[in-house]
Structure 1
Amino acid sequence: MTKVQVVIIGGGAMGVSLLYHLVKAGWRDLLLVEKNDLTHGSTWHAAGLCTHFAHNATIQELRATSVRLYRDILPQETGRDCGFHRSGAMRITRNPDRMDEFRHVAGLSEFTGYPLEVLTPDRIAELHPLARLDGLIGGIYEPDDGHVDPTLATQAMAEMARKGGAQIWRNCPVEAIRQTRGRWRIDTAKGPVESLHVVNAAGTWGWEVGQMMGVNIPSVPVLHQYLVTDTIPAVAERIAGGLPELPMIRDPEESWYVRQERDGLILGPYEKEAQVWSVDGVPPSFGAELMPPDLDRVAHIIEAAMARLPALETGGVKTVVNGPITFTPDANPLIGPAHGHDTAWLLTGSSMGVMEGGGAGWFLAHWMTHGAPPMDALAVDSRRFGAWADRDYRVAKAVECFGLQFGVHYPHEERPAGRGLRLSPLHDLMIARGAVMGAAHGWERPNWFSETPNARPEESFRRANWFAPVAREVSAATSRVAMADLSVFSKFEITGADLAPFLETLGANRAPDLGRIGLCHGLTPAGGVLSEFTVTRLAEDHAYLTSAAAAEEIDLDLLRLRAKGMDVEIRNVTDDLAVIAVMGPKAPETCPELADMPWLSARETTLDGIAIRALRLSYIGECGWELHVARGAATTLFEALERRATPHGLGFYGAYAANSMRLEKGYRGWGSDLTTERSPLEAGLTAFVRKDLRDGLTRDPAWDMVLLEIATGEVDPFYAHSVWQGDRPVGIVTSGAYGHRTGKVLALAYLRDATARDGLSVSILGTRRAATILPQAPFDPDDTRMKPGATP
């Protein structure tokens, strides 16, 4: 029996990168097993494109880290080139919305330090003289982008890992995986291995290896084709003339990319109707094989590319590559702990394994070493999908993501595939009352309410067709009474003799007293905010916790980890209970039986004969309650509340109105404003951190979260806008919206220079707008409206 610390399953760019970075981090007794040979699967046939373009800072850092590794670090360590070509890259468009998207990504990149250039048509012609400009309105240029030889890069990482003592077993399929007594046994063709940690980096085989581990891997292999041309005379002439390599060029509207390959070109089309492959298991014998060419499927895209780059027509087709790449439901990789396991990890599902692999290995190695990711992990955390992400869902979303590989990413985007998986018992009632639904962790939830039947949201970077309806929803909650379906909350019942010490060690705050409600933030070992729980103390041995919908698996893992060695039972009751919010100055008249409840208190009682758990709190800054009720009684309770509230001017509100109102109160949101990157002190939550922990959470230099009022413009802020002081970027917006009660444009932002207090501006889609730090919440800063007996 071979005994090691870590077994990595999969020898593509992702797995080998992790092996390399664990060696760098000082780990020993490392083993990577690969069923065929290194790079077999999808790495070897990848086009090797590397970019800095991303809508998320973490994804961008994965890609930028890969570039640095392939371009600089590995050649220096090995003394050999990895085949990296710093060609630069551009994206072109004839779509005004796409130009908004380009400006948004460029604004994020100003803050992250990877500046991208927004292009005019004349600049496109200067950078890529082979491109026709017909219909183009602009583009974006990524000067540090390039392409790499995937095999050379992977082998270089493997060489350095071996030099550091790591083992690589090639031609060694994994036959079975099981966990006993806190260790993993991996049966391989070369014998059994016992390991403390196991990592699924199997890529194309990620789903099958996940089945062995007992972990749901929502990824699907999808066939992607690209063609390599023979000599292109115009390219050969440039080479002969000593001109630099052409930049890669992408046309998102026509869905293709082109890059130079020696004196020819590579053309990669992405068809709208993806062809999934081997959904229920890749053939065991499959390795470095390809599918037969099927250019008829992409002929229309090839023709469009030739129209834009006529030089493509002058070279014959030398090679067609048609092989599988993996897609997750949101096209981001699966990185991090496997749900339900302390020592199982995922590093798989990347449709851009070479582009992201170098950085992904660094990211997971840091997480495994330090117990926390180096950056906000929500975009890649493998637990962002639950058991609800079944076969139909993963296939539908993979097809959608492939077809929208070059789709515009709108700030409030709601894609249609894979919907209707998790329905609140109030779902049909919400639809009947005009709810326009969005998706949250598989749930359908009301985003806003329309007076027009069958309304659909507009996709825009500017104010859309839901702006006026949201104003009406806010008005109802502010002046009358409004109800909301909050059933998507994650919900946990905690019982047992050790409840008190469990709650005291759960997070940064002290446990609430009996019958009271508190806010508790679970922290990473580095002091970042991992979880945010609303904790209700129902009895000496019973607490009820709620948290964000998207945090369900993450929070359940944290609760179970904190409960180790304690006499407590944790039950996930997310699907068992519904939550109805009743908010507004007329809420006490709607529910007079509850009007005497103190602020931040809980009561288990009945309304109209229906058992409820009433929580006296508000995320929107208005008087009211969350009423938690058994799923089977939810519709009856809702209809009873509706009858009670109608005489008082009943309205309904959704997630968009809640976002507007909570920003007017300066309330932070988990997953956007609260992440593992920043401590609760940096997030402005000092009041929720017990005094004995504060010194340990102080960082130098510390970032500072501020609430900004931004000058009015045609675009309301949403996220990832850079904050400037003069000519230097000093911060980043994490969330924003128009405040309908105050008439202010508001945003929460982190300042990485906490001394930058004056002369601020926010760059929103390329336009700088003056911003002022608000010293207190602009709406009801003294919280008088939420307290019992308050007058509006």
Structure 2
Amino acid sequence: MTNAQVLIIGGGVMGVSLMYHLTKAGWKDVVLVEKNDLTHGSTWHAAGLCTHFAHNATIQELRATSVRLYRDTLPQETGQDVGFHPSGAMRITRNPDRMDEFAHVAGLSKFTRYELEILTPGRIAELHPLANLDGLLGGIYEPDDGHVDPTLATNAMARIATQNGGAIQRYNPVLSIRREGDVWRIETQKGAINVRHIVNAAGTWGWEIGHMMGLNIPSVPMLHQYLVTDTVPEVADRIAAGKMELPIIRDPEESWYVRQERDGLILGPYESEAQPWSVDGVPPDFGANLMPPDFDRVEHIIEAAMARIPALGDGGVKSVVNGPITFTPDANPLIGPAHGLQNAWLLTGSSMGVMEGGGAGWFLAHWMTHGAPPMDALAVDSRRFGKWADRDYRVAKAVECFGLQFGVHYPYEERPAARNKRLSPIHDEMLERGAVMGAAYGWERPNWFSDKTGDTATHSFRRPNWFEHVAREIDTVTNHVGLADLSVFSKFEVNGPDTREFIDTVGANTAPKPGRIGLTHALTPAGGTRSEFTVAMLTDDHAYLTSAAAAEEMDWDLLKEHAVGFNVAVSNVTEDRGVLGLMGPKSRATLAKLTDQNLDDGFPWLSSKIIQIAGKTVLALRMSYVGELGWELHAARSDLRDIFLAIETAGKEHSLGFYGAYAANSMRLEKGYRGWGADLTTERTPVETGVGFLVKPEGHEFTGREALKARMSRDNRWEMVLLELETQEVDPFYAHPVFHNGKAVGIITSGGFGHRTGMALALAYLRIRGLRDDLTVEILGKPCKATVLSTPPYDPDNLRLRA
């Protein structure tokens, strides 16, 4: 019998990186078990590419941390080279939209200080003289990129980890996993291990280990092949002449990458017809194995690569690597707590394991040792997929992600695979009325409404085809009455004698009085914003909470953890309830036709009441995220259709129409309302985010209280501001850098066009508080003037909300 603090299952680059970082953080009693040898599965056969290119700051930091680790830290600690080649890298394109994407990523990178260079064709020729420039518009250069030997890097981390007290058990497969009291008991081939923390870092076997843990791990092994050439004369001549190694080059339109390998080249294609492998379990004897080459699947991509890099045709094929790599439904790794399990963690599912592994181990080690991630975790949080992400979903999305490995990442992009997993009770009614749907945490929700049957959204970095449709929806809400399906909200109930105390301590605000509605922000131990709940106190012993759709599993975990020690029952009623939003100056007149409830003085702003509509019981919350008089109407799922039809009929004389998520986003920006997951993140406190009026640091206890108070007193805390931008060509969306006197000082977290005010608006964090003059925002490489608004531009006194 072995006892340990942590057991890591999986000896690939991800698991070994975690062991390395945990032991460096002082956790000595760490054991790693591997069914074969270190790197077996996917790590050993990886091409080892390392990049700083990313659309998200957290993903970029994972990759940048990996580069620093492989390039600098490990050689310094071990005294040995781990095979990192600082070759640099570039992406080239003939697609104008891709150039917009490159400009957007370059803008984000100016803020994160990993600056990338936009390339002209001439500059491409300077950097990569073997490239054929025909048809190219330009590209982007990543000067600090390179490639590493995956085996050398993994073994170097393992060496340091064992020196720091960790233990590695090779050729010791896990047979079973179960919870016994306060510990995890893992039966392995070499005996039982009892541990406090368990980590699934099994990679190719991640789904199987998850199944033993009682989890649904939405990852799928996908076969990826690359070929290695013999000597390429042009490359050999460069080496003989003492020239620098060629930069890695990627052509996302043709879906391939090429890098130098000694005096030859490696070509890696990503075909659109992807091939899942061993979806329901990897063969027991699989380890450091490969599949036979399958050139038929990638022949057209090879031909395209040879046309772009003609030298590829001058070197014969020396070897072909065809092995599994794992993909999640969005191609990002699964990092963080396992939903519903105590002291269980995931570090798996990375399609870019070597590229992200060094940083991923750092990220999870910080989370485990500090109780919160070091950066915003939403892009990687292992709970961003729920039980609805079933086998069909994970396979379809993995195939889609593999085929779109080099797809353009548009703002507001909606991908088509594996849709209709979670449907509102009025889904069909929304479609009949012209809803163009998007996906939010598995739910189908109306993004906007079209007057054309079968209309779809165009993807663009500029104004899309739904811009005018959204303007009409907003006009309806502003001047008449709009109806929205808000059923995607996460919904929870708290019942019991300790309900008020529970609410008082779950977040930084106190519970509202019975019949009233409030907002509270649950914090991390470091004082960052973990969750945002709308709280309706129905009675002193009954509260109803709602939060963002994507937060369902995260918030469910939080509430259950907080309930320990309280005399309360907490339940997740997300699937049981539907929600309608009835908003606009005619919302009261519409609702008055359906209920005897006094909707004037008897139903003030931010209050709740139980009412009857069409003979159905409805919890009516007088609140609005769009800045107009209105109600959220919450009801049993089975009753929502009848309620919807009754409201629609009652609203006809008031020109009732419908609005979707895009219209709501535009209107909330005009009010300066912050959004969880975009503006509200674990990195920043509610005070920095501009909702400090909802924070009551004295008089009640809550997680992160002392850290919050300390951060509130610091002069270097950040500040969120609402900006008006002078731009006509493109509206802001997210991740645009903010400059002051030529220096990147901030980042846009959300943005859009405000149709009621005629303004391009954005919420942004500034690293330096108090900046008001000489601010510009760079959108797709072009600067535009930015003005800080001291008050929201629409109804700053909330007269319409209080009407």
TM-score if structure 2 supplies the norm length? Answer: 0.98
Alpha-carbon distance, 1:190 to partner: 1.1
Name the aligned partner's letter for residue 612 of structure 2. Answer: T
What is the aligned partner in structure 2 of residue 667 from structure 1?
Answer: 673
Say yes or no: does 1:762 pair with 2:766. Answer: no
Query: Residue deviations 1:384-404, cap 9 Å, x none?
Result: 000000000000000000000
Name the aligned partner's letter for residue 659 of structure 1. Answer: N
What is the aligned partner in structure 1 of residue 243 from structure 2?
Answer: 243
Name the aligned partner's letter for residue 265 of structure 1. Answer: L
Residue from 665, 670, 693 that aligns with 1:687: 693
Alpha-carbon distance, 1:753 to partner: 1.1
Alpha-carbon distance, 1:724 to partner: 0.2
Alpha-carbon distance, 1:342 to partner: 2.4
The SS at the match of 1:591 is helix
C-alpha separation in 2, matches of 1:713 and 1:196: 56
What is the aligned partner in structure 2 of residue 287 from structure 1?
Answer: 287
Say yes or no: does 1:751 pair with 2:766. Answer: yes
Say yes or no: does 1:772 pair with 2:780. Answer: no
Query: Residue deviations 1:682-738, cap 9 Å, x none?
Result: 001111101415634414510000000000221100000000001100000000000
Query: Residue deviations 1:530-550, cap 9 Å, x none?
Result: 100000001121110000000
Name the aligned partner's letter for residue 341 of structure 2. Answer: H
What is the aligned partner in structure 2 of residue 492 from structure 1?
Answer: 492
What is the aligned partner in structure 1 of residue 627 from structure 2?
Answer: 621
What is the aligned partner in structure 2 of residue 719 from structure 1?
Answer: 734
1:226-305 to 2 correspondence within 5 Å? 226-305=226-305
1:522-533 to 2 correspondence within 5 Å? 522-533=522-533
Alpha-carbon distance, 1:215 to partner: 1.3
Name the aligned partner's letter for residue 255 of structure 1. Answer: S
C-alpha separation in 2, matches of 1:642 and 1:297: 52
The SS at the match of 2:764 is strand
Query: Residue deviations 1:287-331, cap 9 Å, x none?
Result: 000001111110000000000011000000000000000000000
The SS at the match of 1:382 is coil
Residue from 768, 784, 787 that aligns with 2:799: 784
1:318-357 to 2 correspondence within 5 Å? 318-357=318-357
C-alpha separation in 2, matches of 1:443 and 1:528: 28
Name the aligned partner's letter for residue 599 of structure 2. Answer: A
C-alpha separation in 2, matches of 1:278 and 1:72: 37
C-alpha separation in 2, matches of 1:18 and 1:700: 34
Say yes or no: does 1:702 pair with 2:707. Answer: no
Q: Percent identity?
A: 71
Alpha-carbon distance, 1:133 to partner: 0.5
C-alpha distance 416-297 of structure 1, shift in aligned 2 (>3 A): same
Name the aligned partner's letter for residue 649 of structure 1. Answer: S
**Kept in 2: contact 1:203–1:349 (CA 8 A):** yes
Say yes or no: does 1:115 pair with 2:130. Answer: no
The SS at the match of 2:510 is coil
The SS at the match of 1:460 is coil
Query: Residue deviations 1:608-658, cap 9 Å, x none?
Result: 311100000000000010000111111110000001111001111000000
**Kept in 1: contact 2:508–2:697 (CA 8 A):** no
What is the aligned partner in structure 2 of residue 595 from structure 1?
Answer: 599
The SS at the match of 1:132 is coil
The SS at the match of 1:745 is strand
1:85-104 to 2 correspondence within 5 Å? 85-104=85-104
Name the aligned partner's letter for residue 568 of structure 2. Answer: V
C-alpha separation in 2, matches of 1:183 and 1:220: 29
Alpha-carbon distance, 1:410 to partner: 0.1
* Alignment gaps of 5+ in structure 2: 699-704
C-alpha separation in 2, matches of 1:187 and 1:697: 45
RMSD across aligned C-alpha pairs, in angstroms? 0.7
The SS at the match of 1:730 is strand
Query: Residue deviations 1:448-473, cap 9 Å, x none?
Result: 00011110000100001100000000
C-alpha separation in 2, matches of 1:500 and 1:570: 13
1:36-47 to 2 correspondence within 5 Å? 36-47=36-47
C-alpha distance 594-58 of structure 1, shift in aligned 2 (>3 A): farther
Say yes or no: does 1:728 pair with 2:734. Answer: no
The SS at the match of 1:714 is coil
What is the aligned partner in structure 2 of residue 508 from structure 1?
Answer: 508
Name the aligned partner's letter for residue 463 of structure 1. Answer: R
C-alpha separation in 1, matches of 2:508 and 2:770: 26
The SS at the match of 1:63 is helix
1:196-215 to 2 correspondence within 5 Å? 196-215=196-215
C-alpha separation in 2, matches of 1:341 and 1:565: 18
C-alpha separation in 2, matches of 1:190 and 1:216: 26
Alpha-carbon distance, 1:284 to partner: 1.1
C-alpha separation in 1, matches of 2:512 and 2:605: 13
What is the aligned partner in structure 2 of residue 453 from structure 1?
Answer: 453
Say yes or no: does 1:654 pair with 2:660. Answer: yes
* Alignment gaps of 5+ in structure 1: none
C-alpha separation in 1, matches of 2:459 and 2:724: 25
Structure 1 runs of 4+ aligned residues shifted over 3 Å read none
C-alpha separation in 2, matches of 1:418 and 1:734: 28
1:15-54 to 2 correspondence within 5 Å? 15-54=15-54
TM-score if structure 1 supplies the norm length? Answer: 0.99
Alpha-carbon distance, 1:594 to partner: 5.1
Query: Residue deviations 1:187-235, cap 9 Å, x none?
Result: 1111100000000000000000000011110000000000000000000
C-alpha separation in 1, matches of 2:34 and 2:715: 43
Name the aligned partner's letter for residue 189 of structure 1. Answer: Q
C-alpha separation in 2, matches of 1:496 and 1:341: 24
What is the aligned partner in structure 2 of residue 739 from structure 1?
Answer: 754
**Kept in 1: contact 2:256–2:269 (CA 8 A):** yes
Name the aligned partner's letter for residue 695 of structure 1. Answer: K
Query: Residue deviations 1:152-177, cap 9 Å, x none?
Result: 00000000001001000000000000
**Kept in 2: contact 1:681–1:697 (CA 8 A):** no
Name the aligned partner's letter for residue 336 of structure 1. Answer: G
**Kept in 2: contact 1:14–1:348 (CA 8 A):** yes
C-alpha separation in 2, matches of 1:286 and 1:613: 55
The SS at the match of 1:621 is coil
Name the aligned partner's letter for residue 244 of structure 1. Answer: M
Name the aligned partner's letter for residue 654 of structure 1. Answer: G
What is the aligned partner in structure 2 of residue 425 from structure 1?
Answer: 425
Say yes or no: does 1:640 pair with 2:646. Answer: yes
C-alpha separation in 2, matches of 1:688 and 1:561: 23
C-alpha separation in 2, matches of 1:37 and 1:311: 37
C-alpha separation in 2, matches of 1:727 and 1:709: 19
The SS at the match of 1:459 is coil
The SS at the match of 2:17 is helix
What is the aligned partner in structure 1 of residue 702 from structure 2?
Answer: none
* More displaced 10-residue stretch of structure 1: 187-196 or 749-758: 749-758
**Kept in 2: contact 1:588–1:594 (CA 8 A):** no
**Kept in 2: contact 1:41–1:287 (CA 8 A):** yes
C-alpha separation in 1, matches of 2:404 and 2:598: 49
The SS at the match of 2:527 is coil
What is the aligned partner in structure 2 of residue 183 from structure 1?
Answer: 183
* More displaced 10-residue stretch of structure 1: 120-129 or 696-705: 696-705
C-alpha separation in 1, matches of 2:114 and 2:457: 33
C-alpha separation in 1, matches of 2:566 and 2:581: 34
The SS at the match of 2:474 is helix
Name the aligned partner's letter for residue 613 of structure 1. Answer: L
